[in-house]
Structure 1
């Protein structure tokens, strides 16, 4: 009977440590949302990007992805993002889906333009570059190396 009590207490301790670790990780991860104004951008591909991912300018988090949808007319992926209210983006700014390292997560990288007019609440970024698919790139490298070696 005492063995079961010890095993139960040990199991409870392991669960408590796991919950504590998860809470600590969440608090240190910087997953908090950014209050600000909402803008949107259309991309041909958003592979790996999801709601909650960062929006960054020069590597600094300035917002987060708040929604994603498909435009039924153009078949483009439309991303909604919240950007800090103290950050004004010029009308000719651009957005691209970037990756945090080779195996890291995706984020939206904004590059401010030089226009005098600024994007307003609900505005749209016109210049975009979609997500680059790593598997496709590797496949192209393998295919090009096998086709060039077969020519000789």
Structure 2
């Protein structure tokens, strides 16, 4: 009986250790860290819309993760969505850089893409990225496409009805 209890405890401990190892591995592969805060500089950016972007989303330059979205809120005066971005401190970002919200794929998540500018002056901690491009709504694009196709189809049908060939004239009688 005593041997069975010890075996169950050891088995449970092994399962917990393996689960913890998988958790550490998964967090390491995701690019996130177990420690909050971290180093880096904090930037802000204002957008008209940030559809589907959540805190913790990636900030990328050229497709490479250089930071993450720390916070999002609404500016009560302008009603713009304000994002706080934490970017690695070893990345120098020109002050004329732009930020755009981009999708990983049609079904994938969203991230903030920083496009470096050409200025010699670099952004410092707490400054704002002033050139932004908001998220494009897939539903809105599909709606516009469907409306355009419907409009094109109905215009084509109207043209075909209006341009129906007239009946051929009767042959002239020969004397």
Normalised by the length of structure 1, the TM-score is: 0.82
The aligned counterpart of 1:100 is: 104
RMSD (Å), alpha carbons: 2.0
Q: 2:133 aligns with which of 126, 129, 132?
A: 129
The aligned counterpart of 2:143 is: 139
1:46-125 aligned at under 5 Å gives the runs 46-125=50-129
The aligned counterpart of 1:150 is: 154
Q: Of the two structures, which has the highest relative contact order with CA contacts closer than 8 Å and spacing of 6 or more?
A: 1
The aligned counterpart of 1:6 is: none
Normalised by the length of structure 2, the TM-score is: 0.72
Instruction: Find out whether 1:29 has 2:33 as its counterpart.
Output: no
Counterparts of 1:39 and 1:128, CA distance in 2? 13
Counterparts of 1:57 and 1:98, CA distance in 2? 12
Structure with greater proportional strand content = 1
Aligned residues: 137
The 4+ residue runs of structure 1 with deviation greater than 2 A are 19-35
SS in structure 2 of the partner of residue 151 of structure 1: helix
Rg: which structure is higher? 2
The aligned counterpart of 1:4 is: none
Counterparts of 2:104 and 2:142, CA distance in 1? 18
Counterparts of 2:147 and 2:69, CA distance in 1? 35
Deviation at 1:102, TM superposition (A): 1.1
Gap runs ≥5 in structure 1: 1-11
SS in structure 1 of the partner of residue 123 of structure 2: coil
Counterparts of 1:20 and 1:94, CA distance in 2? 40
